[in-house]
Structure 1
């Protein structure tokens, strides 16, 4: 995808017991592929290896720029991880469990930070570096960068979902999606009345967890609490907030506003439905706006479709409670076994600077983690919804921050799928019990 990786943190899961066996066994495995030598062949500056998630090449160009700006202090070799986040995680875990010193810097999905830090894979930042790496960072991504009161990752870019709507549909329904009290219930009613659909991510993958978590936290709840207790964390989804989330998912799935094959829909399926003749509303990442313009240039849709697109903050669950939009993005972390910690730190500082936050947002289309980036004139021209993106990232509700995130997420995905079967209070109750059993090793995923 040209502007963002909508499959952030998409993964197949293992149980806590299986993962622990996997981590232990991985240390005995041969390293996957050849590792880089510490220095270039000509005896020049150290080569810093940066493992990245796939993008449009923006991280590679940023790596070249940072190396040039270092005045010869280091070179950067970019290694691209698989597209699927579970495979990204697996490749990094195998190498780090074997204490691979070639992993100097890595681009990590926020949900993986706690797991990697808890396993000792990440080099914590010193107190004197913490201020420069967190200065001006929006509150949402900042909450994902620490573990046990230590900064272990630097927010690089952030992401959030907005409510996208067809202006003509909203007008015909007599509603204002930008109103402060606009809710999921109002949206479902309006779409059903106009015989239009609402694009969501409801396939059994991480995007579905993103939606469910956003509903739960927007209703004032949490999916799991006491996360630092590891396997003894307490499932909290069996709650009034969990019930509200289940009600909304089930109501939409069983309503006329459900798009065809909703239970198999990801980001792109939602976008396709939204841009089609029955499109009315959609929750999705900001990349969809530039993607729609690219579709016009490629002849896939008419300019009138783009002209009809409006945007607003993520819908509320309760009319009198502000929504907590989804949070995505990428954090940069330093491998704990690097032999070049200073050069790796210099690269992280360079890549996460305000100047490069702006440059990367304009190049790759991924929203910046630093708030001041949204005041840049070029950013505001490219992203006319910049203020809403910034506020949504700042107010976003992160997914559970726990070293057992894989188990937590998959427990939810399994018990909430298909969405047509989701009901309150049965589904949250089932999830809480299943999650507890998985964390304790009593059941397998």
Structure 2
């Protein structure tokens, strides 16, 4: 495969050159230096920080200071709004709550960007589809990693049913150790349910409230767990560790982990490749950059956001494993050469279903996690209280 890691330097160089031709006019219009605060979660790849450093290098009068806030689905809203900010980097599931509480202001995406339809839907302002509550920084979707030991042998993508029916050759975020890993558990359980019934959570995030439908959709997963056929893990990093330590055949994780997993696993004797495949229907993830309603520097904040989400930035982020948000990035020859599995990721994103896009999502996730965990691990049957709790959360 192409040398993914040297391609980063090449694309970063091209991005830097492009900036040089577009910065001077903007800089000469500044009267006083401005420092913008970007509040965000942890960057595990370094890609986001590289882009911000490039911006700061060529915009000394409008610099970005990153404030990293460790948060979970349950507390991101409270932690973020208690931190003064000009720009928020929001998980897509938090956008509705920030919008409903008037914490962010609409803006337009950068020119030359055609967002993939599912990515557009979760960010757009309903009254004006041309405006977004947050410009997607990256999108995301659950993927199936698989270890290849012999490239001469046919290796068709398996079904998820086949994978969980195997003998402890699959691992995913199907356990939890508290609030930090609860959301990963919720997403993985939703994906397992969608593998059985694609209508249980539709393409707009509307969740079924049929108890019988949920009981049928989760029964195969419950049987696999009770039969000890799955290596469960809590959180993404622990899943990676189980996959590598035990040399497992399959893993559910996000594509952003692919560069690190691929680089390490190809050094193992007996592993010739790590490939990405689709789940039947993955859960849509990702982050979006939003302007804080309280910011006194909206024009400057929008310029930063447009730089961080434009085509050159998306090409660079793709080499770090991030799934691009725009159709143009998936069609770009340089990006395709650097990341050969882009077509598979695009297909998965276009068919992905979002979680319920509702200001009450955190309450929904709490209810969903409690009832499904009790069912899967404590053999407590799902009852009407499960669907009634979801309904109350999403009223």
Shift of 1:252: 1.9
> Match for residue 101 of structure 2?
119
Shift of 1:255: 2.4
In 1, Cα distance between equivalents of 2:383 and 2:112: 36
Tell me whether 1:146 sits opposite 2:128 in the alignment: no
TM-score normalised by L of structure 2: 0.78
After TM superposition, the structure 1 = structure 2 runs for residues 354-433 of structure 1, keeping only pairs within 5 Å, are 354-362=311-319, 364-418=320-374, 420-421=376-377, 426-427=381-382, 429-433=384-388
Match for residue 137 of structure 2 among 156, 166, 170: 156
In 1, Cα distance between equivalents of 2:357 and 2:200: 11
Tell me whether 1:44 sits opposite 2:26 in the alignment: no
Q: Is the 8 A contact 2:145 2:251 kept in 1?
A: yes
Q: Is the 8 A contact 2:209 2:391 kept in 1?
A: no
Q: Is the 8 A contact 2:73 2:362 kept in 1?
A: no
TM-score normalised by L of structure 1: 0.70
Tell me whether 1:206 sits opposite 2:206 in the alignment: no
Shift of 1:415: 0.6
Which runs of 5 or more residues in structure 2 are unaligned?
6-29, 177-181
In 2, Cα distance between equivalents of 1:361 and 1:235: 31
Taking a change above 3 Å as real, the CA distance of residues 308 and 353 of structure 1, as seen in their structure-2 partners, is closer
Say how many residue pairs are matched. Answer: 357
> Match for residue 91 of structure 2?
109
Shift of 1:77: 1.8
Alpha-carbon displacement from aligned partner over 1:213-267 (angstroms, at most 9, x marks no partner)? 224445232459999xxxxxx96343565234311321221224222xx2x5322
Which runs of 5 or more residues in structure 1 are unaligned?
4-41, 96-101, 228-233, 315-322, 441-445
In 2, Cα distance between equivalents of 1:378 and 1:177: 27
In 2, Cα distance between equivalents of 1:115 and 1:411: 18
Taking a change above 3 Å as real, the CA distance of residues 83 and 438 of structure 1, as seen in their structure-2 partners, is closer
Taking a change above 3 Å as real, the CA distance of residues 188 and 225 of structure 1, as seen in their structure-2 partners, is closer
Alpha-carbon displacement from aligned partner over 1:70-111 (angstroms, at most 9, x marks no partner)? 5x662222222226454543221324xxxxxx4211100000
RMSD of aligned residue pairs (Cα, Å): 3.4
Shift of 1:68: 4.8
Greater strand percent: which structure?
2
> Match for residue 15 of structure 1?
none
In 2, Cα distance between equivalents of 1:114 and 1:44: 34
Taking a change above 3 Å as real, the CA distance of residues 63 and 268 of structure 1, as seen in their structure-2 partners, is closer
> Match for residue 187 of structure 1?
163
Q: Is the 8 A contact 1:50 1:103 kept in 2?
A: yes
